[in-house]
Structure 1
Amino acid sequence: MRALLKRAADRLHAIEDRLTVRTQIAAAVAALSIVLVGTLAAGAALVSYRHTAALIESNLAGIASTTSARLDRFMATRQQEMKLFAELQPMQRLWQGNPAELRSALEALQHSFDFTWIGFADLDGNVVASTGGLLQGKSVAARPWFKQGLERIAVGDVHEAMLLASLLTQRANNEPYRFVDIAVPVRDASGKLLGVLGSHLDWNWASNLIKDVEANDGDTDTQLSILSKGGVVLVGPQRETTRYAGESLSGILNARDGTFRETADGRQLLTAFHVGRGYRDYQGLNWIVTASQPASVALAAAISSAQMIMAIGAATALIALSLAVLLARRIAGPIIAITQEADRIGRAHGPTMLARQSGSAEVVQLSRALRSLLRRIGLAEERTKEAELRATENAMQLQEDLLKLRQLADTDFMTGLMNRRSFLAVADDAVAFCRRYKRNMATLMIDIDHFKKINDTHGHAAGDDAIKRVAEIVNQSIRTTDKAARFGGEEFVVLLREIDQETAILLADRIRASIESATVRHGDTVIPLTVSVGLALFDEGDRDVQDVIERADQGLYVAKKTGRNRTFLMPAEDERAARAA
């Protein structure tokens, strides 16, 4: 292959040697013109394509967003209706009054609004009254909507209510009933909780909404779907199947709205999505609305526009080729002259100077530049020596920077302790040393107690302060030959060299007591802090450092389960017995 390329290059050079400067300039200008025009045409086509595609994506995103907003407004309206009904003054005497009158009021609400079933359950979960008498006298105490409704206004995601569905009239198409629950706590005038007002919305209204939007899509073959926050299709093709999962689902939920391309049933689709954000008091259930169009339909206009621009570019390139031949004649003369002058300088002996040339502004400028170049050759040599010196200094600085980077790579950014990777490398060497020279070694696994409660109560910044304080105490409590690392979150590991069991236990308890008595402040708040410690000693039966760390982690688990704020030594015999079993 290399020989073939060399032969081709030699043949090209032979052709160049037979061509005049004028011909070469004409060819170069023509090629440059064609490349520039082609690039501009391709760029314009690409911009046009992307602009048109962006408009189509924006339209799809608008459809998804509008549909999602309609879903949220519908649910917000139903939630508000239930809330207002529960708070109506005339209803106060009915909640604990005649069930028949209460049932009549519930049925009036059902006829006025779009509810499949409405019922009132007392504090024990027994349905006191309901529309149509369905489930009346039954217990709903185990139902999620009842449990949540005792505490707050709750909206449950789409589900099948088998018991209620069995009491309703079977649909003509035999499709199962699916419902969305709304539950509202009912209180008397003094604020005392009396029970829960619950309702079931027939999910069929969402299907009708999607059909209405698709019927008015302007013959763009737009297909809409509604998905749960778990990626399961609630309305649309392949219902009840998982359409998105894993990283793709996480990306959709994090982005909240956007567009992407996908393949479904062998077709390329342009898909826009929007994750519901709720409406007013309704917090939303993170339903995902997608609007999809076949890429061949959606991008047809963009492709046609790009093809038209490319055709115009090709015609322009042909015109540029003709102009290149004419321009070459005017350019060639001065360039030939300056080439001959440069050849003269190359043949001359001793110092020489380039004769001034004219013919165009560029030739004059080139002539001046070459004359200046000859005058500055000596200065350039001196600066070359200075550049070599600076290069040496830069190399030394680079070595220092690399050393700093290695330190950062081995250190936990928050605490300044070793990170997991660097700790395990040191620990493996320590185990090999202990095994070879029959020395003792111990490992501590330290975990902050109730760390999640600290984050939830005082915020993540307070949690970070707690982690830093524990790291500081641990680092101050160990010897210079010992090593401490943050394994992640609120978990720390300490490697103790040349230590026996009694001393290791004393050191672990000293660290635990120091942390318990330490003061951790976040702003004006004092945060109480304790840790649990798991301790394990190196044993000849350990395969590697991971066995010692795992045993210390088991000790930590026991310390957590038996009250926290304590140290537990996990003997090696227990681990070997568990491993043998």
Structure 2
Amino acid sequence: MVFAIIATLIPSLGLGLLSFRQNEAQISDNVTRELRTLTSDASREIELWIDKRAHEVRVSSTSNAVIDGLSAIARPQANIRANTVTKNPQALAHYLRSVQEKLDTFRELTVVNADGQVVASSAAAAAAVTLPDEWPPNSLTEGLVITPPHWDEQYTTTTLSIAVPVLSYDNLIMGALVAVLDLRTLQPHLKSAKKSPPGEVLLLDRDGRILVSSQIDAEKLKQLDASVLRRLQSQPGESLVFQGMTHREVIGLADVSENLPVTIVAERDRGEVYSAWVELRDMFLALVSALVIVVAAVAFQMGRSIVGPLQRLIGAADRIAGGDLEVRLTATRNDELGHLTQVFNQMADKLRHSHAEIMATNQAMQQQNQVLETLSITDSLTGLYNRSKLDAILSDELARFKRTQREFTLLMMDIDYFKTLNDTYGHITGDEILTAVARILVQSIRSIDYAARYGGDEFIIILVETSTDQALKTAERVRSQVENMRYSTNDSIIAVTVSIGVVQCQSGDMTPTAVFARADSALYGAKHAGRNRAFCVS
């Protein structure tokens, strides 16, 4: 019964999760399409709004009052119409204020001459203006956005400036009419309450600050994180999940307006989008959890009556398989399970006896193997590593140096005039001197370093992760201790010295032979310099 329930539950759970995953992907696609629609509609409305404002500025720039007023100031000797009302800046400013009052999108109208100097303005303090050096040939029909949208402290709102040239009656550019527009008047056009999909539309400047929003007060919103803004701008039209400015977590995408240097961001609360989906998912998981609890309860009840004893046998067998042979079960039942428990105990007793015999034999073999391994890698006279082990150690150190660039230093040394000592005092004395020098080497290096007999009276020390300066200090310590050693034989005191060649690993060392060759050259340098010294070759 339990297996039947599990066999039914697992496929159902898999299909349910797959269905929820597909539904999530479909919701994401739908939201992305809706957000793209929002940004597209907002971009179109921005274009229409800019065109309309530019047209209003152009119409104002072609009015007789502006042309005559600018002509009277720019060319006072010219013959101006007798009926003009703008023969001085005060009159022109009055006219500009009257026009501004009729156009609710305008915060300021300013007339400047061809040099960019303010002639008259509807504001007490006109905004700064920078005119182009050359106007386009079709200046009469083309306007120019002088400043990108920004927060204007004077008007406590976001503004942008549009400038159009003012032409004289004989089509000469006399100056420009600059209009400072209130960008908040664009807010009702960003999104239609009836036709637009759900979501918020935000216009951001290049730093991610909100200029205007479709629904909420932009002054109360924080700045969008710079990394999020870069991700949105690098993937226009692609939805992302991020910490938004209207909700804690949103789904949003961005587009760049062709008419304004702003980024259009459309976002929607992710919790709202997936609320119904999350509710259905939680109900499904709750149902599955309830079924799992029921199945577990049934299985537990069955396990207590039938599976429990079998589990104890399985657990005991696992312990034996893991190496615990001290397992013994108590047979309390007289049925088949009780008989199986008795047979299991007999089997465990035989395994313990066999294991004890095997362990004794194995221990003896391990001891023999350790002796053989020691003999195979050490020099029988000095107890140091032999030449074969030395080659293996040096190969490993070269490989590690190429892999990690951790340097090591090699010291090659031999006993000065050892052949003479051997011939004079005999081979037994020579062997004892080799053994004494080997003890000094072992006592002079760290546990991570290596000392080996290279052959005859030559020794090698490998100093791991050691610079040349440190190696020279070690070499000098070894040389000094050997020099201070006094060996007595046949009522004679034998003075022993060593010459040492020091080399550091290099990137060109491909084989142990290459390192030995350089070390041998350094050793020759030490002998050539007078012996009983350390000599380094870079």
TM-score normalized by structure 2? 0.40
Greater RCO, 1 or 2 (C-alpha within 8 Å, sep 6+): 1
TM-score normalized by structure 1? 0.38
